[in-house]
Chain A
Amino acid sequence: MNEQTKKAPATTHKLGIYLWIWGLLFVLSFCSYLVDWFAFQGLLRWTLILIFMFLKAGLIMAFFMHLFWERYTLVNVLLWPMTAIACFIGLMVAEAKYTVFTRFVYFVLGS
């Protein structure tokens, strides 16, 4: 960075954006707490939890961590590896089903 850019204040984002995101995060956290408060069960509960979770994570990453304003190269390098995690989740779901199946057969039925 040269001397000129050092002395001049760097361009920053408006205060309002941060306050809005902050407020939204509070609202979303409150919503996810309400999911437990009203004791929703089953598919509705899981769907709501995931929706609020991804919205919160997205807002934090996009605005608080400035990914929304970063160059696409950095964003791509950071987000594509998440597909590996998704694959891992898929593999472990299958594995868990197999484990619980064998446990039922040998521990519950077999005993």
Chain B
Amino acid sequence: MDNSALGKLPKGWKGVPNDLGSDQTAFKGVNWGKAMMWIFLLSDTFIFSCFLISYMKGRSSTVVDWPNPSEVFALHVGGVPVPLLLIAIMTFVLITSSGTMALAVKYGYERNRKMCGYLILATAFGGLTFVGMQAFEWTKLIHEGVRPWENPFGAKQFGSFFFMITGFHGTHVSIGVIFLFIFARKVFRGDFDTGKRGYFTSMKSDYVAIEILGLYWHFVDLVWVFIFAFFYLW
């Protein structure tokens, strides 16, 4: 749907019954790929919610004390324990990469091929840094004796929730990094400027793909906001 036809439709709340009752495409003016990515992210939201809710239920129903996250995740800098230092750095790295991704989407739509490509690369390296620090975190905790079934700090359930939740999030980040590299290559090659047909879909490349990729990446950051709040800070 082009913009002139979209402009004639009712806006705001009045648009909702109009769009849904139109007996046509419900999401007016929204690229189908973008709508599908949103639907996928909605389902992913439910998966992560189930993990976090089961964590809430597990943590609030143990009779043994829960390990204190600000001590468990402290890093020693010059012999002084700094609470949650690594996690804070990871949070900042992920937010930085989210910012570069948002700018990559903007420059993509402005057909600034190089800026878009470099910003996607920066995002990918941010993601790699994050996964690397998470691997360090896991190694450290495993050396300290944290297992899915036991740990030296307190309630036994801690390990299984930690590995499950951060592992599932880390998997999302890793998959995102792979796609970021693939799309950086496509951008630099000029696929989105020439409208080259995609290898799998045979459909013309369009910079909207960068926005869709961006949605996924921001979602990964969004989930981390909740994990950071509920798992590390609570």
- What is A's interface to B at a CB cutoff of 8 Å? 1-2, 5-6, 9-13, 15, 18, 21-22, 25-26, 29, 32-33, 35-37, 39, 45-46, 49-50, 52-53, 56-57, 60-61, 63-66, 70-74, 76-78, 81-82, 85, 88-89, 92-93, 95-97, 99-100, 103-104, 107-108
Closest to B56 in A: A92
Confirm or deny: B138 has a beta carbon within 8 angstroms of a beta carbon on chain A: no
Closest to A23 in B: B99
- What is B's interface to A at a CB cutoff of 8 Å? 2-3, 12-13, 15-16, 19-20, 26-30, 35, 38, 42, 45-46, 49, 53-54, 56-57, 60-63, 70, 83-84, 88, 91-92, 95, 98-99, 101-103, 106, 109-111, 195, 206-207, 211, 214-215, 218-219, 221-222, 225-226, 228-229, 232-234
Given known contacts A49-B233, A73-B20, A36 and B110 CB-to-CB distance under 8 angstroms: no
Interface majority SS (helix, strand, loop, mixed), chain A: helix
A66 to B222, CA, bound (A): 14
Hey, which chain A residues are within 8 Å of B102, CB to CB?
A: 18, 21-22, 63-64
Nearest chain B CB to A4's CB is how many angstroms away?
Answer: 8
Assess whether A85 is in contact with B16, with CB atoms less than 8 Å apart: no
Assess whether B20 is in contact with A9, with CB atoms less than 8 Å apart: no
A1 to B70, CA, bound (A): 52
Assess whether B222 is in contact with A61, with CB atoms less than 8 Å apart: yes
Q: Which of A21, A33, A73, A104 contacts B16 (CB 8 A)?
A: A73
A21 to B30, CA, bound (A): 23
A-B pair number, CB within 8 angstroms: 154
A97 to B60, CA, bound (A): 8
A64 to B95, CA, bound (A): 11
Which of B15, B54, B99 neighbours the largest number of chain A CB atoms within 10 Å of its CB?
A: B99
